[in-house]
Amino acid sequence: MKTRMIQRVLQQNKLFALCCIGFLFFACDAKSVVDTYLPVPENNWQYARSFSFPFEITDTIATHELFINLRNNNSYAFSNIFLITALEFPNGQQIIDTLEYQMADGTGAFLGTGFSEIKENKLVYKENTVFPVSGNYVFSAQQAMRENGNPVGLPALKGITDIGFRVEKTTE
């Protein structure tokens, strides 16, 4: 009876220790100012659907790196992706960009990290950025994919599972 109780306590302690280590591993990201994801409903990014990421900036001196994070699965049928992005400042000013990113190499193998069919891509959006004013910003993105020779955008882009936005501080 005592042996079983001791084993159970040890198992609980191991589980607790593993949970603590996992939490510390994921929580200790000193560079991260913003890191958030939104799921794409049914892994099917509608053409008119824009994903928005509000965030607050208080440091107007440090430089930052901004990233768009995309997760895709094997249903993604393209080697690239076009995005229309907007960065809205607290004063209402906006920077709008049309961007293209590679999603697969020349052999068709998806880029990014991941061991399963889900690949995660950390795409550079803005480098060495100093935010000019403190306050609430909003980053938004929508897909702008078209099939070759067709001027009309795809009504839905299959295979994108999540979209994320990350801001990292590069200087102290």
Closest CA to 129 of 95, 102, 103, 82: 95
* pLDDT one-digit tens code per residue, 88-127: 999 999 999 999 999 999 988 899 898 889 999 999 999 9
The model carries a pTM of 0.80
Please give the mean pLDDT across all residues of the chain: 86
Q: CA 60 to CA 57: how far, in whole Å? A: 7
| Closest alpha carbon to 31 in 169, 166, 164 | 169
pLDDT digits over 148-172, tens only? 888 888 899 999 999 999 999 996 5
Amino acid, res. 83: L
Scan for tokens 């069919």, then name that residue: 117
H-helix or E-strand containing 3?
helix 2-27
Residue 25 has pLDDT above 50, yes or no: no
- Min mean pLDDT across 44-53, 60-69, 87-96, 104-113 is at 104-113
**Amino acid letter, residue 81:** I
Band (pLDDT 50/70/90 cuts) for residue 12 is low
19 confidence band (pLDDT: 50, 70, 90): very low
